Structure 1
Amino acid sequence: MLIDSHVNLHAPQYDEDRDAVIARARDAGVQLMVNISDRVSNFAKVRALADLPDIWCTVGTHPHEAKENPELSAATLIELADDPRVVGIGECGLDFHYDLSPRDIQAKVFRVHATAARETGLPLVVHTREADEVMGEILEEERARGPFKLLMHCYTSGPELARRCAALGAWFSVSGIATFKAAEDVREVIREMPGDRIIVETDCPYLAPVPYRGRRNEPAYIGHVLAKLADVRGWSLAEAEAKTTDAFFDLFDRIPRP
Structure 2
Amino acid sequence: MTTRYIDAGVNLTSSQFDDARDDIVMRAKQAGVDNMLLIGTNTQDSMHCLQLARHYGFVCTSGIHPHDAKSTQADYIAQLKTLFLHPEVVAVGECGLDFNRNFSPRSEQISVLSQQLELAEQNNLPVYLHERDAFDAMRAQLEQVKVHGVLHCFTGDKHALDFYLHYGLMIGITGWVCDERRGAQLQQLVPLIPDDRLLIETDAPYLLPRTLKPKPKSRRNEPAFVEAIVREVARLRGQSCEHVAKISHANFQRLFITRRGTQ
TM-score over 0.5 (shorter chain) = yes
| TM-score, reference length from structure 2 | 0.91
**Is 1:239 the counterpart of 2:231 in the alignment?**
no
**Is 1:120 the counterpart of 2:104 in the alignment?**
no
CA contact (8 A) 2:43 2:76 kept: no
Q: Deviations over 1:8-33 (max 9, x none)?
A: 11110011111111111111111001
Aligned to 1:154: 153
Aligned to 1:163: 162
Aligned to 1:175: 174
Q: Which residue identity does 2:82 align to in structure 1?
A: E
2:68 to 65, 68, 71: 65
Whole-Å Cα distance in 2 between the matches of residues 99 and 74 of structure 1? 22
Q: Which residue identity does 1:220 align to in structure 2?
A: A
Q: The residue matched to 1:166 in structure 2 has which SS?
A: helix
Aligned to 2:88: 85
The Cα of 1:251 is off from its aligned counterpart by: 1.1
Whole-Å Cα distance in 2 between the matches of residues 230 and 70 of structure 1? 43
Aligned to 1:203: 203
CA contact (8 A) 1:70 1:108 kept: no
CA contact (8 A) 2:69 2:108 kept: yes
Whole-Å Cα distance in 2 between the matches of residues 221 and 66 of structure 1? 31
Whole-Å Cα distance in 1 between the matches of residues 140 and 73 of structure 2? 21
Unmatched runs of 5 consecutive residues or more in structure 2: none
The Cα of 1:41 is off from its aligned counterpart by: 2.6
57-66 vs 34-43, greater mean Cα deviation:
34-43
Q: The residue matched to 1:125 in structure 2 has which SS?
A: strand
Q: The residue matched to 2:104 in structure 1 has which SS?
A: coil
The Cα of 1:162 is off from its aligned counterpart by: 1.3
The Cα of 1:120 is off from its aligned counterpart by: 2.1
CA contact (8 A) 1:132 1:158 kept: no
**Is 1:29 the counterpart of 2:27 in the alignment?**
no
Identity of aligned residues (%): 33
The Cα of 1:242 is off from its aligned counterpart by: 1.6
**Is 1:193 the counterpart of 2:193 in the alignment?**
yes
Q: The residue matched to 1:207 in structure 2 has which SS?
A: coil
CA contact (8 A) 1:36 1:59 kept: yes
Aligned to 1:216: 220
CA contact (8 A) 1:87 1:255 kept: yes
User: How many residue pairs get matched?
Assistant: 252
Whole-Å Cα distance in 2 between the matches of residues 46 and 247 of structure 1? 22
Q: Which residue identity does 1:131 align to in structure 2?
A: A
Q: Deviations over 1:83-129 (max 9, x none)?
A: 11101110000000000000000000001111121122221000000
Q: The residue matched to 1:135 in structure 2 has which SS?
A: helix
Q: The residue matched to 2:103 in structure 1 has which SS?
A: coil
Q: Which residue identity does 1:202 align to in structure 2?
A: T
Q: Which residue identity does 1:128 align to in structure 2?
A: E
| TM-score, reference length from structure 1 | 0.92
Whole-Å Cα distance in 2 between the matches of residues 152 and 162 of structure 1? 9
**Is 1:47 the counterpart of 2:46 in the alignment?**
no
Q: Which residue identity does 1:149 align to in structure 2?
A: H
Q: Which residue identity does 1:106 align to in structure 2?
A: Q
176-185 vs 207-216, greater mean Cα deviation:
207-216
Unmatched runs of 5 consecutive residues or more in structure 1: none
CA contact (8 A) 1:77 1:113 kept: no
Q: CA RMSD in A?
A: 1.7
**Is 1:226 the counterpart of 2:225 in the alignment?**
no
Whole-Å Cα distance in 2 between the matches of residues 166 and 135 of structure 1? 14
